[in-house]
Amino acid sequence: MRAAAAFVADLIEHNALQSTDRIRVVLRGSLAATGEGHGTPGAVVAGLQGHEPATCHPAVVRNAWGKAKATGAITVAGRIVGLDGIQFRPREPHPRHPNAVDFTAYAEAGQALLQRTYLSVGGGFIELAAAQQNSSDAAPQNLPYPFRSFVDLQVVCQQARASIAEVVAANEMAVGRDPRSDALMIWAAMEDCMRLGRQPGPDILPGGLQVRRRAPGLADRLSDAADFSAAVARIQLDAMAVNEENALGNRVVTAPTNGAAGILPAVIAHYVRSAPVAHAADGVTTMLLTATALGAIIKTNASISGAQVGCQGEVGSACAMAAGALCAAFGGSVAQVGKAAEMGLEHHLGLTCDPVGGLVQVPCIERNAIAAVTAVQAATLTLSEGHHTHLVSFDTAVETMRRVGADMHDKYKETSLGGLAVSVVEC
């Protein structure tokens, strides 16, 4: 959706929209292989039509592709433009990234007016393929506390006598953001997603696999339970509620991706249930700001894209972010945050991205539930052990994840060509 919107903005900037008769879209690599299952065509059309992910009604995205196919035309910035369908080329990836989409605008006479290729690098971030420098390689500008690694972050925190959350908040304020307000807005969206996911609705998730929704029934069974098992199950419930909402095509918060969107909300909800009410908002803010730093380090030095490094980059990253964030909210030191995050990532190294049917359902929904509990365990174990150093550092785990991702066969990286994606079909 963001890539399509960026293309329209470029058309307008180059005064090419008024001459545009039709637009052609080509999905490449993993975007094509799992495009239908991920709802990508609808997102492309909605983006061309001017919709934004954070504000549009999810039904608009779900219905956009069907309407465009039926009419062969869409409205782009007030102008009716032909749409040459959407081509899927899973075996023709872009050399820089397995997730790529081409947009080309043509005049009525057939000449190309503007062509752009965007790379989807994970978590809703896009880059122009023509750019010589990857944005993640560029040092942050005009920030009071720049950092690229966890070692950098530790030094910054020590020198500033600040927590990770305070460092991130200062950087956010330096670029004109209100970190507390932004964090609580994100948390409100996460809460809405969990609440809606627990409510009755469709019994079966769309896509043809006949996967049943489990969160509403589990919510009913846990309504009066108060033992240890129920406490664990509530974490799993919240994670599954979010991912079932994602499977329904409803709104989720990328944390750091849609496929791993249930882990951080579930762990924050666990914290809110555990913490004094008066401190809950402060703890939520601390968790989201701390998770931001950890996710940024992973994205800078490895990847959060399942198409690039497998699910270790999605669920593994989310587990690390949630573990470190929970540790911070419960008073853990900077070193302990790194230790908890490392545990969360280390035990997901090598995790493949092999969604059955290209749908973010099997194994993704259960995987979020299990990883959310793992994140809580990592934070709990870290705090229980005190200030003992860990043999493996967070930076080492991130670098290992990058190397494992480079070694991983492409069929295990969001292509639906290997692993469970084919084993279930064969059975």
pLDDT tens-digit readout, 2-19: 999 999 999 999 999 999
Alpha-carbon distances, residue 187 vs 111, 194, 328, 376 (angstroms): 47, 11, 17, 18
The whole-angstrom separation of Cα 349 and Cα 129 is 28
pLDDT tens column, 195-248: 999 999 999 999 999 999 999 999 999 999 989 999 999 999 999 999 999 999
Predicted pLDDT at 222: 96
Predicted pLDDT at 137: 44
Predicted pLDDT at 82: 97
pLDDT of 375 above 80:
yes
Which residue is it, tokens 């894209």? 305
Is the model's pTM score more than 0.85? yes
Superfamily of domain 1-135: D-3-phosphoglycerate dehydrogenase; domain 3 (3.30.1330.90)
Least confident piece of the model among 35-39, 264-268, 319-323: 35-39
Domain ranges of the chain: 1-135, 150-412
